[in-house]
Amino acid sequence: MENLLNKKILFIICGGVSAYKSLESIRLFRKNSAEIKTILTQSAKEFVTPLSIASLSQGKVYDDLFSLENEAEMDHISLSRWADVIIVAPATANTISKLSQGSSEDLASTVILASNKQVFLAPAMNVRMWEHQSTKNNLKKLREYGYKIIGPVIGDMACGEFGEGKMSDPQDIFNLVKNFLINQTKNKKLKALVTAGPTNEYIDPVRFITNKSSGKQGYEIAKSLSKRGFDTTLISGPTNLKIDENINLIKVETTEEMFKATQKNLPTDIAVFSAAVGDFKVIKKNHNKIKKQEELIINLEKNIDILNYISNHNSMRPKLVVGFAAETNELNKNAIEKLKSKNCDWIIANDVSKKDRGFDSDYNEVTIHYKNFKNKEEKLSLKKKSEISEEIVDRIVTQIN
């Protein structure tokens, strides 16, 4: 059985009756050779003791942001970097609210805010608190930020009521996080390439043909792949977006430059072509700025089709080739035709004619068409592009592993 040797887990235990369940979760992770460190919030110490946690985890227990001993040994930034994942269990309504607001008033919230690792939240609270609109809004925001929510489940509560809000079983929490970590280890052996953004095709030194692509969806896909352990390269057309330092960013401007950069970064295991590449380029670019005139005729020719080239490149073809189809009409019909003509494995179709999604928006709604499953399509409903990316990468990980 695969174990979690050399995996580092930071447990954050918040104040709630379910805090005792985290002892069992810690025991399961230690049994599977994971290394554990723990943060107890002030209210958590009303339910479990640092001594009981330390004896089970065989690791350091932190409980005060301003402890000189803690800061001398490992500051909050280092602690956030130390962990492979962070588990917050139980995640109380108060903690969920603080995290959604970006609070950093204690060690637990400061470490989470400073972390660049996957954070899992296992909510536990009274059914009425769970159903309250403010809790729903806070969780929606946290999902958009990339947090993974485990549970809660329906059952009897310590307060005597029955309903949804009971913390998930420790075994379920263990299984989900273990699968994530094992896949992350497997993925570290794999390379992923993502293209994003528009391309510029110059008419003269100051004018060019381009499109409205912002690159946001491609950047989010690259972030999600990197977070899952893939050795990720992002080839980006002109954007103002920032990317994580552990992602190999290659900036290009024209389709030809993007094509050459793609070739240089083959072979790769996964290729996601989300860039809105210019289909045409100017046949003859003017070396000097064209002066204003009554009429200007520009002759265009087809650009290299990067997706088509890579999909049909037998010797260097990635294991999984994913294309995007940005359409304004007959979305699924055009996507299916592109899936066949380009010979890629998936086509992800999105409607860019609507203002609440697509190119400039932070939101998207897509349909995935799968080559190996006849007539199979899967719709991912309207949500933040960061969430769409997580769902796409979930499916990539499933297929690759």
Q: Which residues are catalytic?
A: 159
Residues recorded for the chain: 401
CB contact at 8 A, 393 and 225: yes
In angstroms, how far is CA 47 from the centroid of its own chain?
34
Local structure of residue 181 (DSSP, 8 states): H
DSSP string, 52-105: HHHHHH-S-EE--TT-HHHHHH--HHHHHHH-SEEEEEEE-HHHHHHHHTT--S
Phi, psi of 161 (to 5 degrees): -90, 170
Q: Which two tokens stand for residue 208?
A: 């060019």
Contacts of 11 (CB under 8 A, 6+ apart): 22, 25, 26, 36, 37, 38, 39, 53, 57, 87, 89
Q: Of 85, 91, 96, 81, nearest to 18 (Cα)?
A: 91
The Cα–Cα gap between 320 and 308 comes to 13
Q: Of 70, 149, 144, nearest to 111 (Cα)?
A: 70
Q: Of 352, 355, 255, 356, nearest to 309 (Cα)?
A: 255
Angle 21-31/50-57 helices, nearest 10 degrees? 20
SS3 for 258-326 is HHHHHHHCCCCCEEEECCECCCEEECCCCCCCCCCCCCCCCCEEECCCHHHHHHCCCCCCCCEEEEEEE
